[in-house]
A and B are shown apart, each in its own frame.
Chain A
Amino acid sequence: MHDFLITPFSFGFMQRGLLSAVLLSLSGGLLGCILVMRRLALMGDALSHSLLPGIGLAWLLFGPSTLALFFGALVAGLLTALGSAFLSRLTRVKEDAAFGSLFIIFFGAGVALVSKLPTGLSLSHVLFGNILVVGPSDLAVSAVVSSTTVMVFVVFYRSILLETFDPIFYRAVGGHSGLVHFGFLALTVLNLVAALQTMGVVLALGLFLLPAVSAYLWCDHFARMLVLSVVFGVVSSVAGILLSYHAGLASGAAIVLCLGVVFFASALFSPTYGLVGRCVRGLRERQAVRKHPG
């Protein structure tokens, strides 16, 4: 037991990987709830794919500097978001189609760039995550991004709730709707970039989305959904890192698998919104009708 749970974390890289994953599941769980409730899940996924060329270019120009990678990804993400907004305003192409087209072009360009790079940046590491490369500076970035996100959520909880639930009401009482929306997008990009090392471009959004959808199946209070989402994220990150160590899996894939288990368990067994509960209630109703017809 000790060998299974504790020994892996005697290695420095495992400690850093674990810490980074846990930190990002704190903020990712929170952001994921907003993504889910505002129906931006697919947009977030597209956004994370589009970060790839930014990372590739930054690597090409500045080498493996965390800060450069960070800004490269940020610029790529912003270009996709703003570019699709412009495209949909100026042509007849609708926002979702514009976003879908742009992100796939960006992703293609990214794959081309990364696979042709002379440096040792491995495509599979960028796509699916590798905790071996989480250095002390990456950990610092994760810590800053995560604590900023958590702080923003604590301080502006009410504004975030109003903007998510009823943006029209929020505007009507004098809230700055655009500011909250932009802040949310910026935080999402920041967290995606910070999660790249452990989760990879393709799987990073899993750390945001899956705990949030799972929590959504259990809760009727927004605050509780946020907390539960974070709990799901943290537990799955720890389990996933262990799984990746023992099974030799990419860390991103291992964490997403653990989150997947949580999600399916929630979808099946959540008392109010799960499938099993629903079937049981349906059966009971039918029996009641049979016993007391009319």
Chain B
Amino acid sequence: MSLSPVSSEPHSILRFSHLSVRYGRTLALDDITLDIPCGSSTAILGPNGAGKSTLLRAILGWQPSATGEIRLGDAHPQHLLPRLAYLPQRHMIDWDFPITVRAVVEQGRYPSLRLFRQLGPDDRTRVDRALQELGLTDLAGRQIRMLSGGQQQRVFLARALAQGADIFLLDEPFAGLDLFATEELTHILRAWEAQGRTVLAVVHELELARRGFTRGVLLDTALVAAGPIAEVLSPANIDRAYRRGRCAHDNPLHLASTTEFPR
């Protein structure tokens, strides 16, 4: 019996091949071919309207693809929804909703419950473990408004864990977090990557992406670059994605065109 050498190349968990998505006549994603390695943390970057959120929505099957397809392992993502956890943007949640931290995390178990079934001991253990991993055990009985921004974000991470997902799709998770909460979330996502979980997050700040993620995907409707974060965020790539090759001294908005400078 021969042992096959362990490949140093991790296999891809998500494969996009020639994916295009349209909103009516506008092209939101243009011919994206891309592999996301298993157990990596990837920042999705790009200017406004580059199709970052659309990429996440396409994975969940909310955006029918005009051409191309997405594969999760060997299947279509729609067949493996329990493996995918989607974190909504914070402003989508009504924080005054009469619900406690624990009840939110329990929602992660709902999809796997049949009609008429109550949460079983196994479900409870998973909820307990998720609460514990994110340090929420003591806050479990609190109403969700009574938490800090970072804690609120952790509640939804815990729900994703309780769901039993291993691929996490985060839509702007850092929006509205203060410095401490940002550090904390970066730390959690780093730890998840070390545990072999796959994280895809839409990120706006380039510096944050450099520090918190190992890989990057730079979009500008079409794919500009993908790979290790340092290579993706090279000056040339950033220039291509954000300025579309224009020189920084160009003045697309003609902001100061009427100003006369003294000679």
A positions within 8 Å CB-CB of B: 37, 155-156, 158, 161-162, 164-166, 168-169, 171-175, 216, 219-222, 224-225
Task: Give the B interface residue count (CB, 8 A).
Answer: 27
Q: Which of B81, B88, B97 has a CB less than 8 Å from the CB of A222?
A: B97
Instruction: Name the segment of B111-119, B172-180, B205-213 touching the other chain.
Output: B111-119
B positions within 8 Å CB-CB of A: 60, 62, 78, 81-82, 84-86, 88, 92-94, 97-100, 103-104, 107, 110-111, 113, 115-116, 143, 159, 163
* Residues of chain A contacted by B78 (CB below 8 angstroms): 174
Contact at B107–A162, with CB atoms within 8 Å?
A: yes
Distance (whole angstroms) from the CB of A209 to the closest CB of chain B: 16
Closest to A272 in B: B143
Distance (whole angstroms) from the CB of A194 to the closest CB of chain B: 26
Q: Which of A162, A166, A173 has a CB less than 8 Å from the CB of B93?
A: A166
* Residues of chain A contacted by B93 (CB below 8 angstroms): 165-166
Could you tell me the dominant secondary structure of chain A's interface residues?
A: helix
A-B contact pairs, 24 of them (CB 8 A): A37-B94, A37-B97, A37-B98, A155-B115, A164-B97, A165-B97, A165-B99, A165-B107, A166-B92, A166-B93, A166-B107, A169-B88, A169-B107, A171-B62, A172-B60, A172-B81, A172-B84, A172-B86, A173-B111, A174-B78, A174-B111, A175-B111, A216-B98, A220-B99
Report Cα–Cα, A36/B93, bound state, in Å: 15
Contact at B92–A222, with CB atoms within 8 Å?
A: no
- When A and B form their complex, what is the total count of cross-chain residue pairs whose Cβ atoms lie within 8 Å? 61
Q: Indicate whether A220 sits within 8 Å of B98 (C-beta atoms), given known contacts A166-B92, A172-B81, A172-B86.
A: yes
Q: Indicate whether A168 sits within 8 Å of B99 (C-beta atoms), given known contacts A37-B94, A173-B81.
A: no
Q: Indicate whether A222 sits within 8 Å of B98 (C-beta atoms), given known contacts A161-B107, A172-B60, A172-B81.
A: yes
Distance (whole angstroms) from the CB of B82 to the closest CB of chain A: 7
Contact at B143–A220, with CB atoms within 8 Å?
A: yes
Report Cα–Cα, A164/B93, bound state, in Å: 10
Contact at A221–B98, with CB atoms within 8 Å?
A: yes
* Residues of chain B contacted by A174 (CB below 8 angstroms): 78, 81, 111
Distance (whole angstroms) from the CB of B61 to the closest CB of chain A: 9
Q: Which of B94, B97, B113, B159 has a CB less than 8 Å from the CB of A158?
A: B113
Report Cα–Cα, A174/B86, bound state, in Å: 12
